[in-house]
Structure 1
Amino acid sequence: MNPYGKSQTRKKTRKAAPIAALALLLTIPLYLSFTGDSSSSHQTFPSRAELHQCDLFSGEWVPNPDGPYYTNETCNAIQEHQNCMRFGRPDTGYLKWRWKPDACELPLFQPDRFLKLVRGKSLAFVGDSVARNHMQSLLCLLSKVAHPIEWSDPLGKQIQYHYKEHDFNISIFWTPFLVKTGILDPSLGRPFDLYLDEFDDTWSNQIAQFHYVIISAGHWFFRPSYFHLQRRLHGCLYCPEPDSNITHLTPAFAHRWAFRTAFRAINGAAGYKGVTFVRTFAPSHFEGGAWDKGGNCLRTKPFTRNETSLDEKALEFYTIQLEELGIARTQNRGRRFVLFDTTKPMVLRPDGHPSIYGHLPGAKLVMSNDCVHWCLPGPIDAWSDFLQELLRREVVGN
């Protein structure tokens, strides 16, 4: 599956991982970190608090007849391509589930409680359109009790929402590759230029002002790109040059470099004393073909853990994020990095995407069946349940 680039068939070198087995991967950032691309390794151990906290991200989706908690009529923060209610999605069962961790309860999002946790604080989302999807879900959940003042920079790379009565700000930084890039305009018809070892200063120079940062990225790394290291062309993905002229590399190569560089920017950010939540890759659910070969996502209920598996590319991205998180945790103990694992819960939600219900029938779109983003309201609202509990742990401990 290649959500954005040209279709490509690759020889499989790794079997898909059953969801139950993914719990083992969570030990990577806590106990064992890999340095560089070699086989050398070093150990880093979790705090006592981490050892005794319930794992929020291992569990199942269970029925929740009370959902949803907002609609497209009560929230104006829903973008068209996630507005499944407006565009006629006929089933509503996908709105009637909540996440239940195996070893504890995850409280549902309570906007008043959340705003008390974040009073006097600031929160930044750093990433791509799925990060924006998450932020808009949070805005909708908060809209039951509060409405912010919106501001954006002239280029639209940063948007801020100010909740004056609660002394709380939410910002989003548009940075789909996390690192310095060339012009991000797909209509130009050429690969993007990614400077994989250079910071994207549109966000890295500003994070010192934030108490909490949620960083994420994934699906854009499947787009055609040129990769630069030390200001020299190092290789490419889906580029037009023949193999003899340039090294053809994988999306995982750029994905690892991007997270390593982003974490280096955070560790080195002067004055930053906040908490960085590393939100892991939320997989897409194309079935019956790739995104550009008729693939779609028409299921109407979640999987159980034993019914599905994480495909090779998603597993590779997920593993890279865990490994790089482990490395980041060892490089500067003055910075706090927290795992925000959306991979394991969301691989079980093939029913939560817009599919054909993110646009009018017959609309001409690059991706006519959207199995990457999430309906609002929808299963992505559970991410705010996770965030509320993660923030509670930061404020009051376990």
Structure 2
Amino acid sequence: MLQPRFSRKTWGSRMFRALITIGSLFSFFLAIGCGYVYVLPNLTLAFHNNESRFSNTNSSTSVCDVFDGNWVLDDSYPLYNASECPFVEQGFNCLANGRMDDDYLKWRWRPKNCDIPKVNVQRALEALRNKRVVFVGDSMSRTQWESLICLLMTGVEDKGSVYEVNGT
């Protein structure tokens, strides 16, 4: 006698596995979302010198659209020296690899109706004290991590106390 293709036991176990998977994904995204809500507002304030996130340069406009703007030359840049940072990969260290000009380091993004303040390294370090920052992704994420570490190292007196631990 032929048995039905989907027996009650098989259907029930599949349904249970599907519910577990959906519940796990929901819990994961809920945890990530709560982490963003908890961590990002504090870090946003820590990375900037003033209490407001962005200051309007045009008083008639109340909304700051950071995606609408221009690249402007700023002689106070770069914020760190990549040649002095041990975390920058050799292939991305343009000056150490023989690039003669450094004008490409002096550009910053300026939105049309507001100004993005510079990073306050001391505040950022204090906000990150006893916390973990995780970058998940590919080589782009790795480069962003390198830039963040190099930037934060400018506020640390003992540069030897900053190190990378692999495999954990």
Q: Deviations over 1:68-120 (max 9, x none)?
A: 22224421111011010111112211011111112211011221121233334
Partner Cα separation in structure 2 for residue 91 and residue 53 of structure 1: 37
RMSD, aligned CA: 1.9
Q: TM-score, normalised by structure 2?
A: 0.55
Structure with bigger gyration radius:
2
CA contact (8 A) 2:87 2:149 kept: yes
Partner Cα separation in structure 1 for residue 98 and residue 149 of structure 2: 23
* From 137, 161, 168, the counterpart of 2:147: 137
Classify the secondary structure of the residue corresponding to 1:142.
helix
Distance 1:59 1:72, change over 3 A: same
Structure 2 unaligned blocks of 5 or more: 1-61
Identity %: 38
Give the drift of 1:53.
5.9
1:148 corresponds to which letter in structure 2?
Answer: V
Give the drift of 1:122.
2.1
Distance 1:149 1:89, change over 3 A: closer
* From 109, 129, 136, the counterpart of 2:119: 109
Q: Deviations over 1:189-217 (max 9, x none)?
A: xxxxxxxxxxxxxxxxxxxxxxxxxxxxx
Classify the secondary structure of the residue corresponding to 1:151.
coil
Partner Cα separation in structure 2 for residue 119 and residue 103 of structure 1: 33
Distance 1:148 1:66, change over 3 A: same
Give the drift of 1:140.
0.7
2:94 corresponds to which letter in structure 1?
Answer: C
Structure number with the higher helix fraction is: 2
Q: Deviations over 1:282-337 (max 9, x none)?
A: xxxxxxxxxxxxxxxxxxxxxxxxxxxxxxxxxxxxxxxxxxxxxxxxxxxxxxxx
* From 125, 147, 151, the counterpart of 2:165: 151
CA contact (8 A) 2:83 2:96 kept: no
Q: TM-score, normalised by structure 1?
A: 0.24
Structure number with the higher strand fraction is: 1
| Residue 78 of structure 2: aligned partner | 68
Partner Cα separation in structure 1 for residue 123 and residue 65 of structure 2: 21
Partner Cα separation in structure 2 for residue 53 and residue 126 of structure 1: 31
Partner Cα separation in structure 1 for residue 129 and residue 68 of structure 2: 30
Structure 1 unaligned blocks of 5 or more: 1-51, 159-398
Partner Cα separation in structure 2 for residue 128 and residue 94 of structure 1: 24
Asked if 1:79 corresponds to 2:93, the answer is no
Superposition pairs for residues 312-327 of structure 1, below 5 Å? Answer: none
Partner Cα separation in structure 1 for residue 103 and residue 83 of structure 2: 19
CA contact (8 A) 2:82 2:150 kept: no
2:118 corresponds to which letter in structure 1?
Answer: L
CA contact (8 A) 2:69 2:109 kept: yes
